[in-house]
């Protein structure tokens, strides 16, 4: 199975990730920069995280379109957003900071979970004036390393000032990730000493999805990784706990509106935990991806 080539406007992009990832558990960061005119739209595939896209361009170049609502600027993408396309409209290039938050962390960082599920909203809607202040600090930074430090500082302060989910809810989410979405809800409830009804209610109110829907999303994400690695759909179905290939096809269609082949070829923010498929990033002479491109 061959991956599709990225759209021409996204074929030359500098990518940066922190030198020391994992400083805040449940948080991952990546920076993108493309110089020169850009005009492209790319479908985003569902991911088991709440994602912040901070537009650091001079002209609000980032564009998102969800459910027929098209807006510019920084955005927050909730869990399972459905039909979502991201793109850019820029004469002078685009710079963007992607922040992926575990839904457990998102509750503390954003002060919202349920309201964001299935939604795409502006960052200002969620953070108010704090969004503008954060964007100003990030734009003034002179390197991606400095931007990552600023972002982690902002996130850490918000996490310490807001409520966290129940330990049982956090534990169930981690068990979902460990089992790749294949653990039964009854078993998860028993593991934390709750009834199925209590787990369903508390998880839904704090994470934003029911335990069953969340497990489906985690399982789909694992399957998407395997599809992108070139595994055959029949093998992916068996490895990911689907009844058969038809079951996998239905789930992929439900989360993305695409086929398994379409997901395997999705070029942007589809299945890579860092943020960008390596083959689409600018490479160093040694062939390894650029990790710390300076901001100029």
Q: Are residues 172 and 156 in the same domain?
A: no
Q: Give the confidence band of 282 by pLDDT, cuts at 50, 70, 90.
A: very low
Highest-scoring range by mean pLDDT, 45-54, 174-183, 228-237, 256-265: 174-183
Give the pLDDT mean for 153-165: 82
* Residue 3 within any structural domain of the chain: no
Quick one: 24 and 116 in the same domain? yes
Whether residue 155 sits in one domain with residue 35: yes
80 and 122 share one domain: yes
* Separation between Cα atoms, residue 236 and residue 244, nearest integer Å: 9
**What are the phi and psi torsion angles at 169 (to 5°)?**
-65, -45
Q: Which residues, 6 or more positions from 259, have their beta carbon under 8 angstroms from its beta carbon?
A: 249, 252, 253
Q: What separation in angstroms does the CA of 171 have from each of 103, 163, 167, 168?
A: 12, 16, 6, 5
Give me the domain span that covers residue 33: 8-163+269-280
Residue 42 domain-assigned (yes or no) = yes
Residue 195's CB is within 10 A of a number of other CB atoms, namely 11
pLDDT of residue 210: 93
At 228 the pLDDT is 81
Judgement on whether residues 184 and 142 belong to the same structural domain of the protein: no
The pLDDT assigned to 22 comes to 72
**Sign of dihedral through CA atoms 70, 15, 220, 262?**
positive
CATH of the domain at 227: 1.10.10.60
Confidence check: pLDDT of 183 > 50: yes
Give me the pLDDT at residue 269, please: 41
* 154 and 189 share one domain: no
CATH number at residue 55: 2.60.120.10
The answer to whether residue 186 sits within a structural domain is yes
What is the structure's pLDDT at 86?
A: 64
Q: Is there a domain that residue 293 lies in?
A: no
- What's the predicted TM-score (pTM) here? 0.82
Query: Does pLDDT of 271 surpass 70?
Result: no
Are residues 159 and 171 located together in one domain of the fold?
no
156 and 15 within one domain: yes
Distance from C-alpha of 35 to C-alpha of 95, rounded to nearest angstrom = 8
Answer yes or no: is 255 within a domain: yes
Residue 289 maps to a domain: no
Tens digits of per-residue pLDDT, 108-156? 888 655 567 777 888 888 888 888 899 999 999 999 999 999 999 999 9
User: Do 23 and 113 share a domain, yes or no?
Assistant: yes
pLDDT tier, 36 (very low <50, low <70, confident <90, very high otherwise): low
Question: Of the given ranges (145-149, 157-161, 236-240, 292-296), which has the lowest mean pLDDT?
Answer: 292-296
129 located within any domain: yes
- Same structural domain for residues 156 and 70? yes
Give residues with Cβ within 8 angstroms of 20, minimum separation 6. Answer: none
Looking at the structure, tell me whether residues 189 and 242 fall in a common domain: yes
List, for residues 59-103, the tens digit of each pLDDT value: 666 766 666 666 778 888 888 766 666 666 655 567 889 899 999
Q: Evaluate whether residue 244 is within a structural domain.
A: yes
pLDDT for 174: 95
Domain count, the chain: 2
Least confident of 111-115, 204-208, 257-261, 263-267: 111-115
Residue 69, phi-psi category: left (phi > 0), alpha (psi -120 to 50), beta (remainder): beta
Q: Which of 78-92, 147-161, 204-218, 231-245 is predicted with the least confidence, judged by mean pLDDT?
A: 78-92
Q: How confident is the model at residue 243 (pLDDT cuts 50, 70, 90)?
A: very high
137 and 274 share a domain? yes
């Amino acid at each position: 199975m061959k991956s599709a080539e990225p759209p021409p406007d996204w074929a030359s992009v500098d990518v940066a990730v922190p030198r020391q990832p994992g400083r805040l558990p449940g948080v991952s960061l990546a920076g993108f920069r493309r110089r020169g005119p850009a005009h492209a739209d790319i479908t985003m595939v569902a991911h088991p995280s709440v994602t912040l896209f901070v537009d650091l361009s001079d002209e609000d170049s980032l564009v998102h379109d969800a459910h027929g609502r098209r807006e510019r600027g920084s955005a927050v993408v909730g869990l399972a957003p459905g039909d979502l396309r991201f793109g850019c409209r820029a004469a002078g290039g685009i710079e963007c900071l992607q922040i992926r938050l575990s839904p457990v962390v998102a509750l503390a960082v954003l002060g919202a979970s349920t309201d964001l599920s299935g939604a795409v909203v502006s960052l200002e809607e969620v953070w108010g004036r704090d969004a503008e202040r954060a964007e100003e600090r990030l734009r003034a930074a002179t390197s991606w390393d400095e931007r990552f430090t600023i972002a982690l500082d902002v996130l850490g302060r918000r996490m310490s000032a807001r409520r966290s989910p129940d330990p049982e809810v956090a534990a169930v989410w981690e068990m979902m990730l460990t089992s790749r979405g294949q653990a039964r809800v009854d078993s998860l409830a028993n593991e934390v000493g709750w009834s199925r009804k209590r787990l369903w209610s508390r998880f839904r109110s704090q994470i934003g999805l029911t335990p069953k829907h969340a497990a489906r999303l985690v399982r789909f994400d694992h399957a998407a990784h395997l599809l992108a690695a070139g595994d055959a759909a029949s093998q992916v179905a068996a490895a990911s706990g689907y009844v058969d290939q038809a079951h996998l096809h239905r789930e992929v269609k439900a989360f993305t509106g695409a086929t398994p082949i379409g997901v395997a070829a999705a070029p942007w923010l589809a299945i890579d935990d860092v943020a960008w498929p390596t083959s689409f990033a600018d490479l160093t002479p040694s062939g390894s991806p650029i990790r710390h491109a300076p901001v100029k």
